[in-house]
Amino acid sequence: MTSTLRARRLRLVTLGAVVLLAITVAGSLLIGARSVSPAVVWQALTAFDPTVADHVVVVGQRIPRTAVGLIAGAALALAGTLMQGLTRNPLADPGLLGINAGASVAVLVAITFFGISQPSGFVWFAFVGAGVAAVVVAVIGTRGPDGDNPAKLALTGAAVTAGLIAVTTFMLTTSAATLDVYRYWQVGGLTTRGLDTVAIAALPVAVGAVIALSSARGLDLLSLGSDTAAGLGQNVPRTRALGIVASVLLCGGATALAGPIVFVGLLVPHVLRALVGVGHGPLLALSIPVGASLLLAADVIGRVIALPGEVQAGIVVAFVGAPALIALVLRGRRVAL
């Protein structure tokens, strides 16, 4: 593919991603068990009246859900793209370094020992748990003569994740009260999170996003191999350290907001590579709107497929993501790094 065709495709994909994001945001505000017309949504946004039920639904429920979906979806997709580039592992996702599992254990600690039951209360626990797990994996996975081997880092992350899952299971089986609070959060969804929780998580996620986007050149060089990257002047340990910090901030914020949602961080990078190639600059930038759109679309679908109830976004993403990822993998060449 010539550079002109590549640039044209990139512009088209970027435009498509922006349009898709606008459509999913509009759908998130309009669609649900209670349908609201575009005119009413506009009135609620520009001239809110607390005595109008539809205004309360839009401002009190759908705007927070939309904000959570935007931030969590973008953060998960960006973290997944970053992790796949950082480890040169196409199966890497935000859980690779035990980040999601660490956040889950920390949330359980907040629920069990501190009696916290609201996301705004345990958001900082999620960040701390994610950070501790990532540091443990990084320290263990980079020690020794083969410390620059991405496979070692991935295996260490898998081992730490398995241990943390065992801790999670133990805590849940010994406290029925903890299970009642935790199980709804564990499914992964955008409800019951207010703008107060969004405000807490937004800044760390934004910092993580800036670090991730600035790592594009380093990830491109790492894709050539650690020795080659170092020979070209790249500080490989620094690139990896910054990547881990960014992943903690992104995954900690997303997990605190929406629970440990899977497949967003795994699927989005594969889809984008098939469309725009392997350059990490476009991949990282486009993962933000595409990830946000995917999670918002899953939430909207979950609102209407089981009326009068709802299916949480995490379940919808899993149902859609699993076969989609299998289809991409079967195509082999187009999802290769």
The ranges assigned to domains in the chain are 3-335
Confidence (pTM): 0.88
Nearest to 196 by CA among 299, 117, 111, 121: 121
Confirm if 271 and 289 have CB atoms less than 8 A apart.
no
**pLDDT number for residue 334:** 45
Fold of 3-335: ABC transporter involved in vitamin B12 uptake, BtuC (1.10.3470)
Tokens of 181: 């609070």
CB atoms near residue 2 (< 10 Å): 7
pLDDT in tens, 14-69: 999 999 999 999 999 999 888 888 999 999 988 888 888 889 989 888 999 999 99
What integer pLDDT is reported at residue 336 of this predicted model?
43
Q: Where are the alpha helices (DSSP H) in the chain?
A: 3-30, 38-46, 53-57, 63-87, 99-114, 119-141, 150-173, 176-187, 195-213, 216-222, 226-231, 236-258, 264-276, 280-304, 313-330
DSSP class of residue 278 equals: S
The CA distance from 220 to 132, in Å, is 27
Q: What is the pLDDT of residue 1?
A: 59
Per-residue confidence (pLDDT) for residue 153, from 0 to 100: 74
Q: What is the pLDDT of residue 225?
A: 80
Region for residue 98 given its phi and psi (left: phi exceeds 0; alpha: psi -120 to 50; beta: otherwise): left
Q: Kindly give the confidence (pLDDT) of every residue in the chain, 337 residues in length, as a single tens digit, with 9 standing for 90 and above.
A: 577 888 888 999 999 999 999 999 999 999 988 888 899 999 998 888 888 888 998 988 899 999 999 999 999 999 999 988 888 877 777 776 788 888 888 888 888 888 787 766 777 888 888 888 888 887 887 776 665 666 777 788 888 888 988 988 888 787 777 777 777 666 666 766 677 778 888 899 999 999 999 999 999 998 888 788 888 888 888 888 898 889 889 988 888 888 778 789 888 998 899 899 889 999 999 999 999 999 999 999 988 887 777 888 888 888 887 787 777 667 654 444 4
